[in-house]
Amino acid sequence: MTTAWNWEYQTYDPKTERLVESLCTVGNGRFATRGSAPESVADDHHYPATYLAGCYDRLTSEVAGRTVSNEDMVRLPDWTALRYRCLPDDDAPGNWLTPDHPSLLLSRVRLDLRAGTLTRQMLFHSTDGHRLGVTHTRLVHMGDPHLAAQRTVFRAYGWRGNIEVRAVLDGDIVNAGVDRYRALAGRHLAEHRTGTERGETAWLSCVTATSRIRIGLAVRMSARPPTDIDSDCTATTARQTLVLPLRGKTAEIVKTAALFTSLDRPATDPAQQSIVYAQQAPGFPALLTAHRASWQRLWNDGGLKTPGETGRILRLHAFHLLQTLSPHTAELDVGVPARGLHGEAYRGHVFWDELFVLPYLALHFPTTARAALMYRHRRLPAAREAAVGSAAKGAMFPWQSGSSGSEETQRLHLNPRSGRWLPDHSHLQHHVGSAIAWNVWKYGQSTGDTDFMHGPGADLLLNVAHFWAGSATWDPDLSRYRIRGVVGPDEYHDAYPDATAAGIDDNSYTNVTAAWTLGRALDLYAELAPARRAELLVHLGIGADELHMWDDVSRRLYVPFHHGVISQFHGYGDLAELDWGAYRDRYHDIRRLDRILEAEGDTPNRYQVSKQADTLMLGYLFRPDELAATFHRLGHGVDDVLWRMTVEYYLRRTCNGSTLSSLVHGWVLARMQGQDAWRHCQEALRSDVTDIQGGTTGEGIHLGAMGGTIDLVERGVVGLEPGPDGLHIDPAPLRDLPRSTFTLCYRGHQSIRVRFLPGRLGISVPRASLEPLSVILTGGRPVRISPGSERWFYLRR
């Protein structure tokens, strides 16, 4: 149940509690805490956890007779834990109460998106008529990235007595949030120390086992009415116990947490700093006021108003995006974690999901977008080293990245359907480099940040281009360059049938984006000052004449076709057709068709099946005119007829095993005004809130899909595309998304307001000492809007 700004759950169901915890996570871009009940402990239904952006640790495990090494985002000590039980005047002490206690009568969870707070209300009713109301309110402070707080209010109904409360700071923590990883080592915290200061402040320090990140966490506990606090500590846990009177009035406990680590700058003693910070932190009312003000600023800059249920879900998506990648993130050395700071799926790694997130950030929070790109730039040396190790050139970025920029993709993965550990070749998804290049280019188009584009941006773009130029080999029979031995976005096809070597050849998405990257690298190179050009050539180890070869590769890369459509890869059209109807009848849900086939002793490598959008990703990255121009550069004509046939071909052969698939399909169909566009858009919108993949959201949200749905409205439906000559607008109106309002920034202009209505578009530019904003509607001439004025446009249908 939801209202405009509240996301609510009116009943307690242990079967869906992990989903609630993920979707009710609160964070500030530096750290986040899952929306678990303070009374809960990690078990089959609950998983209290806090994660710090960029905090990784590596452990080794024995799996299927092999030693494997995995780097994980570390689950930190639990600062939220609270236990309590009633002490009636006329009865014996009751049991410790939890949401699973049989006396729970009512339960309600409310995530306030406007204020950034989580409230959990419970009413317990004992057999003798005694009732206890409990209300927890939690925040992770958006104004101060080191603070979090939780207020708990108790009220007795129909009885008088006391309540015993035990606040726990629990460091006995392991990473165990994903069933598939249970066979892997997960105890990342070591060398615990615990203690209390002045009775009111409990503290805990520890280090990560191998990365040696020092962590200090302190929790100040205050009570109303004031009362004495008893403390006791174990090697890994600090506990504070007190007794509060319940005699007609409410009683209140506040836990105020401060988190510091050795990753912070300037460097401090994390334990000591956390103690001082917790003790000096304001009270809960002041913290809440400041926290709300910070969220209001974020909503002013990054909010999106769309009516109905769609608008509520989009607001939830924006909320989770902003608390994973907030302005605080700009001060950190972190990337875009595919599952947010919400859970342990994908081990907290960074994939290509910034492709779906950075366009939004560049239009609303460009400093945060730049920081995400700088995460990649700082790992450019590691990518260059990886290329050397693979006898390649330039920079070979990893498919999965963590702390160092090394390849973190697992080499074995578990099929839970068959119980077998299988080779994993997804590290061959070198197209991640093109995603980085595309993000760099789009950031530059949105911001006009020439310092970045001529500096780190040029480093990234030209190094990725160098990798592609070096990876392309000439085929005299085709008179084309080819890129062999890769895996495309589909992921299902990691080899040819019965082949002993991994990888497929000439994935169209990979080759087309490689050609595009080479073209943009040459464009950017042409803009640079002579001294900067010379510097880049020296760093790349090439001469100016080699750039002519780059240009040749960008025009003559091989793109396969079959049956009048773009082939997903060379030989795709020769694979067998799957009996889709039989598999749907047999299994109903076939999103993870790869697991089904492997459990049957088969493989998707034999069939024309796709896990997710692959070739059709080209329609997500490039507008129709850009797509036609890119293929024209490669010597192919791709008109609306061929593209429509290609779209229809792959829609019939894709099982949507990724939340990104329906997003891309919805985007592509919306741009084509195709049937079923809204059905795919709806599936993308609801993929997390309804846990469409059956349990995966409880392991962490899908940040790319969430960010992509917002981008779907702004750049897909409204058709906004920033360029160096102005804001281009090419609407693709959907009947089910009739109107939207949002603000954006563009090349120095702040808080540009866009109002999209049926048949009309309004743009207002705030007063500023800037040049007029240039707006270009498709098929029209540029219109200049002066600061302090508004202009309305009629849209052609």
Among candidate residues 495, 102, 62, 26, the one with its CA nearest the CA of residue 257: 26
- SS3 for 261? strand
- Both tokens of 77, joined, read 């000590």
* DSSP state at residue 779: T
CB 304 within 8 A of CB 716: no
- Both tokens of 417, joined, read 């359907």
For helices 380-389 and 458-471, what crossing angle results, to 10°?
Answer: 10
Question: Within 504-616, where are the H helices?
Answer: 508-527, 530-540, 546-556, 580-587, 593-599
- Both tokens of 308, joined, read 């109905």
Q: From CA 288, how far away is CA 664, in angstroms rounded?
A: 39
Phi/psi at 587 (5° precision): -115, -15
Torsion of CA 341, 342, 343, 347, to 10 degrees: -30
Among candidate residues 124, 142, 509, the one with its CA nearest the CA of residue 299: 142
Q: From CA 169, how far away is CA 77, in angstroms rounded?
A: 7
645 exposure class (CB count in 10 Å sphere: 0-12, 13-18, 19+): middle
Q: From CA 256, how far away is CA 223, in angstroms rounded?
A: 12
Indicate if the alpha-carbon torsion angle 266, 270, 276, 280 is positive or negative: positive
- Both tokens of 112, joined, read 């306030």
Contacts of 389 (CB under 8 A, 6+ apart): none
Indicate if the alpha-carbon torsion angle 703, 488, 390, 72 is positive or negative: positive
Kind of pairing, strands 131-140 and 117-125? antiparallel
For helices 458-471 and 530-540, what crossing angle results, to 10°?
Answer: 40
CB 410 within 8 A of CB 492: no
CB 68 within 8 A of CB 45: no
Contacts of 62 (CB under 8 A, 6+ apart): 68
Question: Within 600-754, where are the H helices?
Answer: 617-621, 624-633, 640-651, 659-672, 677-686, 703-711
Q: From CA 199, how far away is CA 107, in angstroms rounded?
A: 33
Contacts of 243 (CB under 8 A, 6+ apart): 87, 162, 163, 164, 165, 227
Tell me how many degrees the CA angle 196-199-201 measures, rounded to the nearest 5: 55
Among candidate residues 239, 294, 206, 417, the one with its CA nearest the CA of residue 30: 294
Among candidate residues 291, 285, 154, 136, the one with its CA nearest the CA of residue 224: 154
> Catalytic residue positions?
491
* DSSP state at residue 271: H
- SS3 for 130? coil
Q: 397-406 as b/e, with b when 16 or more CB fall inside 10 Å?
A: bbbbbbbbbb
